[in-house]
Structure 1
Amino acid sequence: MLLLLPLLNSEKLEIHYWFKDNSHNIDAVTLNKSQHEIIALLQEIAKEFDEEILIEIEPYAEGGFKQIFKVLSKQEKKGATIIGAVVLSTITAILITPLTKIAEKTTEHIIDKVFEDKSQVILNNKKDSLELRNLELKNENLELQNKKLNEQLNQNQLEEVSAQIINVSKKLENNIIIKKRRSNFYEQLANYEKIDKVSFRIEDRNNNFLSENFIKKQNFNRFILHSDIIEPQSINDAKIEIISPVLKKGYYKWTGIYKNEPIPFLMKSAEFKELVQKGQVEFKNGFTINCELQINKKVDNEGITRITGYEVVRVDSYFINDKPVETNEGKKHRKLKEAETQMLKLFRYEDDEILPFE
């Protein structure tokens, strides 16, 4: 039967900065900025778990340069004793997992650490660090902690925590704040000349070593976002009331009202612009278009998504005396959608049809 590891009793995250020159000092600005990103990550993870945490920093330690974060739950409720450990496990998984498959790897990291056999953990960790030479001496203490922890947490609690971890991990994959904060952390270190690698080590309240992972400097790039631009949002059947059209050629922005808010936008539909420039469209008060609207976005340094601009990609129709007038490009788009719908129905019919025997 698998033992419950004391990882769920973990309380501290040690970030170890390893230097090429074996020194023990670090640039204050680099340390401050990296520390800021780690705290922001911890807070965002706790937010996803709908938990409040207390983050403390213990005195710095040498050996390269070591930064120790202590995470505790602020709330006294069922499972509160392990929420700090879950947050620590989650941030460790995020910090050692490249940009792809965050949710999958985060879940695997936490769940596997919770349920895998202790002897296998010891074997795996021995491959990571020579500091584990004395780990065998701690086995007796680890066994006592296992026994105590197993008495505190029954199987139902474990299943509840596991389900919560899986649910939150799925959200983490699309959490741009998580991605940006992690990117900021590694970008700071990548620009610091003397750093060689960084390691993340989890300890319990008795300073027992539980888990350690190393990331070399040449791999920092795998964690860094190289563009602040994110996937634009495309909205079909968007209705925009035109306030200020552009009646001549040139790179000028129109103004309209979308969802009761005024927006400046670029008219990218060549067909509709031609209709306007030829005077075939008459603008009156309340003139409205039905269109495909593209909302362009980027993420700032705090991980907050900002709108950078609006573009009308296609005008499907416009209204004259409350009557819709379909454009040629709108008609083509409508027929294409109808054809796709019919094709899907056809495939669905063929899949469901039971052919008689001949």
Structure 2
Amino acid sequence: MEKLQLHYYLENNSHAMNAFIKNKAELELLRLLNHVSKTLKYDLEFEIEALEEGGILERIRIINKKKGKTYVLALSIFGSIFTTILTNVISDYISKNKKLENLQIEVLEKESIKLDYEIKKLKEADYKDEDSLKKVILFLLMDGKVKVLKSNFYEFLDNEQKITQISTLELDNNNEPISEEKIVEKSKFKRFVEKEIELEPKVISNSEVEIISPVFKKGNDNWKGILNGEPIEFKIGDLEFKKKVLDRQVSFTTGTKILCELEIKIVLDKKGDPKVKSRYAYDIVVK
């Protein structure tokens, strides 16, 4: 594959769509292309060719900077991987690949896929190892950043009333198709949209937090403290300790510290980067 063609199908034979929506959606697409290429350890550049009408056709030229004897095949595999990721949800991909069911269970049970190993196997087999290829695709389908960027892409496009469906098509350098067109109808756009992606919580045992601002009323308001020299906000998950505070059985003075198990809940922001959503303190002991 030398090019990736993106086709926006528009109602009433229209050849124009909202420029802000299109540009925002395609920025997410380019971020997704870049993330997938780096994850797969490709050294690629992406160029945009002139637009064509017919709905709206747009072509992204994909340039492999490390040209070798297998670079054409490598680009072809990259195109296949990327279009599969862009147009499939995990459940669809699993249902079409029954052999992956056990692998999915392993992933959900936190048994990691050794992605680097599978990529190496794929390259050593000149990209003909079907089992490794499927594992790589599944890993990427479950990758949090992939989900976020794909979600952004479809969420923007869902706001364009003229769009009826989109498709991807892999092309050679002469714009001849080298794959079947993959179509996603607008009615399915929302299946790709993620409200929030939460990562595995981080738990820090024996955390020493200096209390700056405790809370002496009912509710779940944030306390303020200092952890490892940095100011933090956190909630009390230790119900017994919270009751003692409300009953004034615990007093706080300047410099009061607690030892606790601190659970940090992490979500992905709109760029697919992790950020702290909340912190909860459990098993609290006042020093």
TM above 0.5: yes
Q: Are residues 1:27 and 2:18 paired?
A: yes
Aligned counterpart for 1:289 among listed residues 251, 254, 259: 259
Q: Deviations over 1:5-27 (max 9, x none)?
A: xxxxx111111111110122222
Aligned to 2:205: 237
Q: Deviations over 1:271-321 (max 9, x none)?
A: 112233445446575733132x33233433222222132122x31x5265x
Q: Are residues 1:311 and 2:280 paired?
A: yes
Aligned counterpart for 1:272 among listed residues 223, 241, 254: 241
User: Which of the pair has more CA radius of gyration?
Assistant: 1
CA contact (8 A) 2:211 2:258 kept: no
Secondary structure of the residue that 1:158 maps to in structure 2?
A: coil
Aligned to 1:90: 81
- Percent identity over the alignment is 27
Aligned to 1:176: 144
Give distance in 1, aligned partners of 2:237 and 2:59. Answer: 53
Q: Deviations over 1:242-283 (max 9, x none)?
A: 332526224543233445533111113221122334454465
Aligned to 1:71: 62
Letter in 2 for 1:305: P
From the two aligned structures, give the one with the greater helix fraction: 1
Q: Are residues 1:158 and 2:149 paired?
A: no
Given the superposition, is the C-alpha separation of residues 310 and 203 from structure 1 closer, same or farther in structure 2, using an over 3 Å criterion?
Answer: same
CA contact (8 A) 2:85 2:141 kept: no
CA contact (8 A) 2:208 2:227 kept: yes
CA contact (8 A) 2:74 2:127 kept: no
Aligned counterpart for 2:48 among listed residues 53, 57, 61: 57
Structure 2 stretches of 5 or more lacking a match?
Answer: 100-122
CA contact (8 A) 2:215 2:222 kept: no
Paired residue total: 261
Secondary structure of the residue that 1:16 maps to in structure 2?
A: strand
Secondary structure of the residue that 1:173 maps to in structure 2?
A: helix
TM-score normalized by structure 1? 0.63
Structure 1 stretches of 5 or more lacking a match?
Answer: 1-9, 109-153, 321-358
Given the superposition, is the C-alpha separation of residues 243 and 105 from structure 1 closer, same or farther in structure 2, using an over 3 Å criterion?
Answer: farther
1:105 Cα deviation from its structure 2 partner: 6.9
- Structure 2 counterparts to residues 73-152 of structure 1, below 5 A: 73-77=64-68, 79-100=70-91
Aligned counterpart for 1:215 among listed residues 177, 184, 192: 184
CA contact (8 A) 1:24 1:64 kept: yes
TM-score normalized by structure 2? 0.77
1:59 Cα deviation from its structure 2 partner: 1.6
